[in-house]
Structures are given as structure tokens and as C-alpha cells.
Structure 1
């Protein structure tokens, strides 16, 4: 890994808090780090970014060419600062930046045209392949309760009450349309969830009337999970065919829920932590299917956290020379293609980044918006080199602005940590993954290889 030379107007984000290689000869590239590289690193302190900048020598030619720049370039600088790029600063960085920067990022106004969704469960709801306006009109005011609760004290309850009334009206007016949108095979279950949702909204109204501010958020979360369940019951089968060349791979045709238990060392306040992760096979069937298959092989059980630098938490590099999973039935490494689903598309793109496809303004269905976004690592210049190494983004708004970063469309997101995600920041290199277990959705895995002898 290497440092990034940012524009002089942003000295506080020159490093992104990463580890640097002992070998300083590697040239710098624009992009996310080679997360799968087996290298020895020396860590820099994550406490003070200004300390990190003192280790970086900015090329004098680079200084002369950066005396002035536009607001757009400022935005580009902020976005590129998160790159965790490979290699020591060199003149090659400047040439590559000039070649890549103009098409790589659209105008800032396009990237952040509206408030980004950062809640992982909301991202998962909106990523479902459904088109039912009635249920979304119930969902939105229930989600808005989160913003209403940002008001101090009991004053927040006035806004919460308006949210509840809006959701209740939308439910009453759209109930028949919501029911008609349920898949026939799931209709009975969906109606049961709707009954719970209706009762729960009445209970939430009573909580507000009782001035029980602390009771609002837990009930809101419960109601939104009912909504999410109803929306999942609207999906009738898997919505598309995976390209033929990938159809024999393990595929997750739907969603699965995973629990990952990590043994935390050297922290008296946190010893065992259980993370709940939702994997989204609707938008990343190959990537999520590969991971579920490895989980069922117990591939990750007993593996250490291999990187935890304040930017990402990473694991999945097996012991030995291999950088990914070696299938014992073939004795060959298993790699998977880069897989990106964009908004408005019915099938993911394979093998190319959105940038390479010329889709500079496209938004991904599973963006790097949430703390604990889970994605597949790969070689920087080999799009189809993902295997077993995974990472979770420890999102920071200054370095990874939602809807305005260069990770989206370059790396395959396939899930989000939905419970205890804040504890990811407490993990350290050497902490041990005691177990990873599929708690639901295993029946959505097709072509499993873990059942094959060997």
C-alpha cells in the first residue's frame, strides 16, 4: 500500500490512515488497493493524519502544477484520497491522474444530488428487484423517523407523530395494491407481516402518546423489518439469468443471513462479538454465492483478521503461498468475475468496472454508503481475480462520501453488516474469526461445491 498525494488544499486527508510497504519502489496507481497482496507492512498511527503527511515527499513538479484548481478538482481530490493506492509517490501518478481524472468522476452536483441513504437495512430494501410504489410510500415516512429523532427531547415526538400518521394513511390507501404485489407463493406470509405492521404502527402511535421517546427507535426498527419482509415477499423467483459462462458457479439466487463470531484480543470491554450480515444475491449472485459456498466449507473459521487500519477490515487470505481459495476437488484456485449491478439495469455487468464501461454517472444498486459495507477484494488490475479475500468498509464521510467515491462501480459489494457494525472499528489484526454460519437463506444457494468430496 502506499500514500496518496492530495492537493495542497486538503492536507488533512493526504493519507487515509493506511499501512505503507517496506519496499518503496512500486509505482502509484489510481484505484483501490491490492487487498489480496501478500506483503509485510509497517503500520502508521491512525490517530493523527497530520503526522502521516510528514512522511510524504511531494514532487516539486507536482507542487508547481497544483497552485490553483477548480471546485470540481477539489471534489475529485477528496474522492481520490480514499484510494489506498499501491506504491510510493512518483511522476507516474501525475500522468495517470491526468489521463483518468476527466472521465472518472462526474460533476459533484450529479454525484450528490440528494441525501444519500446510509442505513444498511434501508439500502437492502431499496436494492430489492420490485416496483411497488404503495409499499414504498409506507416505508419512507417510517424511515424518516430517524431524522425526526435527531431533535432533542420530547419535541422530536411531534415530528414522529406526523411520520406515523403519514405511514398509516399510506398503508390504508395502498393496502390492496401492496397485497396485489405479493408473489402468489408468498402471499400468505406477506399478509401476516402486513397484519403485524398495522398493529405495530398503532403501538408506535401509543408510544408517542405516552411520551416514551426511548421506545420509538426499537419499534421503528421492528416495523421496518416487517416492511422489508413484505417487500421480499414481492419477489417472485430469481429475476434474471446469470450469463452462461458463470451459471455453473455457486450462485446465491436470493438473500442469506450470516452470523460471524469474532474473538477480540486485548480488549477487556469486548471479547466476543457477533456480527449479523445480510448477503444480497439478487444483485451479486456470483459473489455472494462464492462466499456462502466458502462459509459452508468452514473456510473462514479460525482465520485471523489480516488488516484493520481504520479504513477497512479485511480477511480471507489463507495460509501458504495461495492468495485465494484452492478447490481441493480440482487443486486449482477458484476465482470469480467482477460483478456490478447498476441502477436501471436488470442484469449485473461482469468483468468490467463502470468506469471502463463509460458509465460515469451510473449509480450502483449496492453502494459503499454504509459503515460495514461488505465487498470482494481483487487484484487492482485484474477485474476477475476475486477469490476468498473480503473486506468491510469503515466508512468515514470525509474520505468516502456517499454517492461520491471511486469505490462504487470498481469493487463488488455483496452485503452489509446490519447488527453490531460499529464494533468493526474495534477489530485488530490478529483477532480471530471463531465461526461464520448461515442462519437463513442457504436454500437459495445453487451449484454448491462444498458438498463435493474433497
Structure 2
């Protein structure tokens, strides 16, 4: 298929077609030439991890400086991008002057949406808030614990004054809301939830002592541990699967809950990284068909030995098999298996299927799984076929003025179904040709319904 690429200039936009059969998020790979240089605080600092990633240096990744564009406003650049997204894929041998047909420019969301409150960018926080629960008491414990991250941005020991306020607020919320939290636990998971709450209470006291001892370095690891307890308690509030998948998709592999996948990548010709294991949490509560399809393919070892096929600083992508097919061919039917576009809108109880939010007129709707986090995982598809996704997946790397968190032009157009939660910053080091040695489901496989890999491996 043809992928549209746009370069923005001061007075006009020139468009070219690039031949490629891979399905891609149709955001032009060089569209950033339209944008202003990103602010310094947009830089992404790699986290420190254990031996799961071996590297040749302590290289820090930062987004490259973007060329300043000549367009006078973000709105003009957004219109240019909309024209690119609206290109009708044609014969890639045709020239721009003879082979491009333009669809009507899609309606753009109000650009005021791009200016919103501070977005949540932490993948694990996004997963916590995406759980289908409504328990204000546990959220009031969660929020100040998450705010510790911002408190630690202050230099030196002075940061601990803010951390101490965060800890006291969280401890007070836990004490005052404990009965409501206990009442919110699912009956079948109550014992486990109670155990986690006890660990949370003890850990809160330990964090308070860490702050009193002025041990700044110990704060973040303890914060992470406590938030894992919080997330566990919140998961223990979900009783079963909260809705019925539409009948036409009910027989497909469905992930009715969450699963965790480890993706081990062997890196070629990169002095900074030799191999890495990326941990991915898949959210079947909000994307059961999409996540279920992926888990089923992982269990078939579909991705094992496959190369990274796109790595351009905007996304990392893989999943295009050898041969003419653009997706997975089910050996039991000898036909391509495609899945519907699946989007969960914030505030709704079940996803919408087969249409983008733009097509539904929901221009300002927020998605439950937004493209906020570095390493957001989504399905690639044909831009003009909503239900054409199969096996090609991508991870978002770039955040810019046109793809800001909480108002991303990809939100509602592509199905997000998970986030990379460990070593996500190393995604930026991957190159085309790096090999996925293995993908393995390490937890949550029991949440997969209708696993077709058991029928025909």
C-alpha cells in the first residue's frame, strides 16, 4: 500500500507517495519539519533498570532537534497534516501530479482541545486509571503517591518536603477511606485485596521513615512498590469481565482482563545496546478483541524471529510477515484474520467498533487508553479500512505539538491495547533489522478466551 509523506514549507505543502506494503499509522514520517523546536522539558530521560537490558554505554536518548517550520501557525500545519492523512492510496508508481486523489479533508477537532490540563504520561498510571472501577477512596490514595514523581523533580533534599506532604496526604486518605476501599473489593478477590492493603499500610510507614531519614534515593523505589500495591488493590475491585463483546466478535480470541508479555529483542549494529527485554502490559478490559488477537499470535510464536520493520523516531513497528500477506493467515482457514477497530471512550462502559471517533463525530472525546505514554502500543491498519488490522503493531515514540498527550491526533483512529512498562525508553535505540528473539506471555494467559492457537498451532 502507499504511505503518504508530507513536507511543510512556508507557503505550500508538497506531497509524495512512498511505496510500502506495510500498514502504518499514517502520520508522515517527516511531518515534524512543520513544527517548532521542542522545549527542553520534552526530553525523555532513560530510567535505570537491572540487567534485563545490556548496553555498551550509558547513552541517554533525547528527541532530536526538529527543524523550525515556515508555517505561521499550528492550525495551518494541522490542516496540512489533515490533507496528508486524507490521501487516497493509489498505484505507487504514479507521480504526485498524476496519481494522487484527494479525499475530502477530514474534519479537525477544535484546536483548543490541544491545550488541556497536565496529562498523565506514566504508563502504569494510565493502566491504573483505565481499570473499570469507580472507587473514589482508592483514587485519593493513588493520586498523592503518583505526585511524588513531580515532587522529586526539585533538586536536592528540598524535594523531600513536598514528598512528605504527599505521603501524609496518602496516609490520611488510606486511613479515612479504608472501609470504602474494603467494601469495593470483589468478593472473589477480597482476601488478596486485604493482604495488599496491609502491605500498603506498612509500606506507607516505611516511606514516612525514609523521608524522615532524608534518604532521597530510597524514595522512588518505595513509591513504585506502593503504587504496585495500589494497582493490585484496584484490580481486585474488578469482578469478572464487565460487559459483553458484540456477538459478531464473540468467537474471536478475547482477552477478558489483562496479560503481561515480555519481548526480547536482539539489537544489531548498535554500540549502545546489545539486547533488551521489554515488558508490555496488555489491557483486555478496554480492548478485548485487539489484545486477545495479539496474545493468540504471541502464543503461536508468530513474532519470534521477526525483524523490527520500521524505526523512524516516530514509531517502532513490526508484524508484517514474509510473503504477499500483510497480516496473519490463519492456518485453520487459510484466510487472513482481521480484527475490527476497537476504541474505548472514557466514560463509556464498552468499546465502539468499526469506526473512528472522528467518523462518529466524537471530536473531543477522550479515549480510555490514550497515546500519552512513550511506548504506547497500538494496531497498525489500512487508513481507509477501519477493520483491516491483523498482526502489524507499533509503539509510539514521538510527542510533538501535533501529537501531544491528552489531545493526540492518533487517539480514536488507532486501537491502543497496551503499554510498555519496563525499559520503554530503550525503544528509541531499536533500528530496522533488529530481531525479536521471542515474545512470551508471563501472566494473564488464563484471561484469554477462545484461544485459536490451541486449535491450530
Q: What whole-Å deviation, never above 9, does each CA across 1:147-194 have from its counterpart, x for those lacking one? A: 101111111000000000000000000000000000000000001111
CA distance in 2, matches of 1:111, 1:399: 8
2:242 paired with 1:239: yes
Deviations 1:4-46 (A, max 9, x none): 244639x9xx99xxxx85559x9xxx972599xxxxxxxxxx9
With normalisation by structure 2, the TM-score equals 0.84
Summarize deviations over 1:28-67 as a string: whole Å, max 9, x none. xx972599xxxxxxxxxx966549x8xxxxxxxxx9xx8x
Residue 400 in 1 paired to residue 394 in 2?
A: no
The runs of 5 or more residues in structure 2 that have no matched partner are 30-62
1:364 lines up with 2:367 in the alignment: yes
Matched, 1:385 2:379: no
Structure 2: distance between partners of 1:8 and 1:431: 37
Residue from 426, 429, 432 that aligns with 1:426: 429
CA distance in 2, matches of 1:265, 1:279: 27
What is the aligned partner in structure 1 of residue 203 from structure 2? 200
Q: What is the aligned partner in structure 2 of residue 168 from structure 1?
A: 171
1:406 CA drift (Å): 1.2
Which residue in the other structure is 1:310 paired with? 313
CA gap of 1:319–1:104, structure 2 versus 1, over 3 A, is same
Structure-1 residue corresponding to 2:349: 346
Which of 26, 48, 70 is the matching residue for 1:32?
A: 26
1:373 matched to which residue of 2?
Answer: 376
TM-aligned CA deviation for residue 2 of structure 1: 3.6
The unaligned stretches of length 5 or more in structure 1 are 36-45, 54-62
Match of 1:413 in 2: 416
> Helix, strand or coil: the match of 1:230?
helix
What residue in structure 2 maps to residue 4 of structure 1? 6
Q: Does residue 177 of the first structure (1) align with residue 180 of the second (2)?
A: yes
Contact conserved, 1:369 with 1:395, CA < 8 A, in 2? Answer: no
| Alignment CA distance shift 1:23-1:133 (3 Å) | closer
- Separation of aligned partners in 2, 1:33 and 1:346: 29
Structure 1 contact 261–273 (Cα < 8 Å) conserved: yes
Aligned-residue offset at 1:197? 0.7
- Name the SS for the 1:205 alignment partner: helix
Assess, with a 3 A threshold, how the Cα gap between structure 1 residues 254 and 82 changes in structure 2: closer, same or farther.
Answer: farther
Is the CA contact 1:263–1:272 (under 8 Å) kept in the aligned structure 2? yes
Residue among 435, 438, 453 paired with 1:450: 453
Native 8 Å contact 2:253 2:293 kept in 1: yes
Describe the SS at the equivalent of 2:322: coil
Out of 98, 104, 108, which is 1:104 matched to? 108
Query: Offset at 1:350?
Result: 0.3
Contact 1:370 1:395 (C-alpha < 8 Å) held by counterparts: no
For the residue of structure 1 that corresponds to 2:119, the secondary structure is coil
Q: Verify the 8 A CA contact 1:82 1:399 in the aligned structure 2.
A: no
Once residues 178 and 163 of structure 2 are traced to their aligned partners in structure 1, the CA distance between those partners, rounded to angstroms, is 22
1:151-300 alignment to 2 at 5 Å? 151-300=154-303
Q: 2:9 & 2:82 partners in 1: Cα distance?
A: 10
> For the Cα contact (< 8 Å) 2:86–2:102, is it kept in 1?
no
Tell me the CA shift for residue 269 of structure 1.
3.4
| Equivalent-residue separation in structure 2 for 1:348 and 1:124 (angstroms) | 16
With over 3 angstroms needed to count, the CA separation of the structure-2 counterparts of 1:240 and 1:331, relative to structure 1, is same
Separation of aligned partners in 2, 1:242 and 1:399? 33
SS in 2 for 1:170: helix
Distance 1:261 1:349 in 2: 33
Tell me by how many angstroms 1:271 deviates.
1.1
CA contact (8 A) 1:142 1:167 kept: yes
What is the CA distance between 1:90 and its match in structure 2? 6.7
Structure 1 residues 142-157: aligned runs within 5 Å: 142-157=145-160
Aligned to 1:43: none
Deviation at 1:441, TM superposition (A): 0.3
